[in-house]
Amino acid sequence: MVNSNTIAGDAAGRGASIPKYSTGIARIVNSAIYRHTLGAAVESRIGRVILLAGVPLIWLVMLHIGPIYQMLKISLLSHYPVQPGVESHFTLDNYAIFFRESLYFTPLIKSFIFATAATAATLVVVYPVAYYVAKIVKPEGRSKALLLLLVPFWAGELIRTFSVIMLLANRGAVNVLLREIGLIDRPIPMLYTSFSLGFGLVYLICLYMLLPLYSAIEKIPGQYLDAAADLGAGPFTRFRRIILPLSKDGIVSGCSLVFLTCIGVFATPMLLGGPNTVMFPETISGFFHGASDKWPVGAAFALIMLVTALIAAGIFMRLVGGKKGSAI
């Protein structure tokens, strides 16, 4: 009784007696520095709020919104970085340039077509794999089957892109193999074309499709499929009427993720693409390297790309997913 009273008293009116800790942390907690700084701060409500929310909120506002905000601001300026003697004023010209010149317009359209095609191809290729791991592999073996799929993704973006060159180059594995068999006399030019770029993109991003699909398909109860089979549905009907609708969430988030990644891929087109496959990111990057007074145009273009990409992903989510924001 007496004991419990003391403990309750301690917890209620702290400072009356110093709490006892069994380890070295006591020395920190009881030190004068701690008591006057952190210790004092957590005593008051405001102190606690500042301690908890201060750094996170500053970071989020400064560095998660700040850069996008600055980009927006600069995209509306006529000159940046500001040079002596040049007035910088508000203008919408940087956006107008984009719509005037097909030189800028075409890469964005190309980027969109490429990203859409790559997303579709990834979905078609990865879906059976995700289904296999989620439904056909026995539960004990699932993590091993997944792990095997994850291994290549520990190699970075650049190394994976580079390894695709080994496969597709004129003296790469595919061409040499085909020549050995005698199917071709001279190598098929595969590298530095849309094909190699598409191949490389799918290779690069299939994991982003795999994981959402896998987790969606895994959740589908096996009994549904059994019931459908009992009622006479064939494999195709079962797939179309049960598996596909129930894995919709996975499809939506996988596709959005892959699409947004594809749009922003920068190094891969530079290494695998050719002169015909200049993508929008490369166009934008041109404004930042070299003459620096083109920054506002680059910022405007980057914003155009961001907004159109997000709108496209949003429309897709709305169309397929039914409700907005169900995915990411």
Partner 1 sequence: MRNTVSDGPRTTLTAFYWAFILYLLLPLTLMMAMSFKDANFVAFPIGDWTLDWYAKVMQDKQFLEACLYSIMIAAASTLAATTLGTWIAMLIVADGIRGRTIIFALACLPAVVPGMISAISLRIFISTIDMPTGTAAIILGHTVHAVPFVVVMALTRLRSMPRNLVDAARDLGADGVVAFFRVTLPYLGPALLGGMIFCVLLSIDDFVRTFFLGGYRPTLPMLIFAKVQGGMSPEINAMATIVLVVTAAVGLYAEFITRRARTR
Interface positions, 75-134, toward partner 1 (CB under 8 A) = 81, 125-126, 128-129, 131-133
Among 2, 147, 291, 319, binds partner 1 (CB under 8 A): 147
Rounded least distance, CB 185 to partner 1, Å: 17
Does 266 contact partner 1 by CB under 8 A?
yes
User: Is 90 in a helix, a strand, or coil?
Assistant: strand
Nearer to partner 1, 65 or 113 (CB): 65
Chosen residue from 108, 118, 164, 197 binding partner 1 by CB under 8 A: 164
Residue type, 100: R
Q: Which residue from 31, 42, 120, 219 is in contact with partner 1, where contact means CB under 8 A?
A: 42
Candidates 94-102, 247-255, 284-292, 315-323: pick the segment binding partner 1 (CB under 8 A). 284-292
Q: Please give the size of the binding site for partner 1, defined by CB under 8 A.
A: 98
Q: CB of 226: closest distance to partner 1 in angstroms? A: 5
DSSP 252-316: HHHHHHHHHHHHT--HHHHHH--GGG--HHHHHHHHHSS-GGGHHHHHHHHHHHHHHHHHHHHHH
Give the CA distances from residue 23 to residues 6, 30, 31, 176, in Å, rounded to whole numbers and listed in that order.
21, 12, 14, 67
Location of structure tokens 């970085």: 81
Tell which one of 298, 316, 317, 321 touches partner 1 (CB under 8 A): 298
CA 100 to each of CA 49, 148, 181: distance values in angstroms, whole numbers, following the listed order: 51, 49, 51
Measured between alpha carbons, how far is 219 from 216 in angstroms, rounded to an integer? 6
Q: Is the dihedral of CA 252, 258, 261, 263 positive or negative?
A: negative
Rounded to whole angstroms, the Cα distance separating 162 from 172 reads 12
Contacts with partner 1 in 226-255 (CB under 8 A)?
226, 228-229, 235, 238
Q: Which of 36, 44, 60, 120 binds partner 1 (CB under 8 A)?
A: 60
* From 109, 113, 155, 315, residue interacting with partner 1 (rule: CB under 8 A): 155
* Among the listed residues 141, 156, 245, 322, the single contact to partner 1 using CB under 8 A: 156
Q: What is residue 317's DSSP assignment?
A: I
User: Judged by CB under 8 A, does residue 260 bind partner 1?
Assistant: yes
168/161 Cα distance (integer angstroms): 11
Query: Which residue lies nearer to partner 1 by CB, 99 or 132?
Result: 132
Which span sits near partner 1 by CB under 8 A: 86-94, 116-124, 280-288, 314-322? 280-288
Distance CA 214, CA 169 (A): 33
Nearer to partner 1, 42 or 103 (CB): 42
317 in contact with partner 1 (CB under 8 A)? no
**DSSP E strands, 45-97:** none
230's tokens: 């009992």
Q: How far is the CB of 102 from partner 1 (least distance, A)?
A: 21
Residue 142 or 248: the one with the smaller Cβ distance to partner 1 is 142
Q: Is 157 a binder of partner 1 (CB under 8 A)?
A: yes
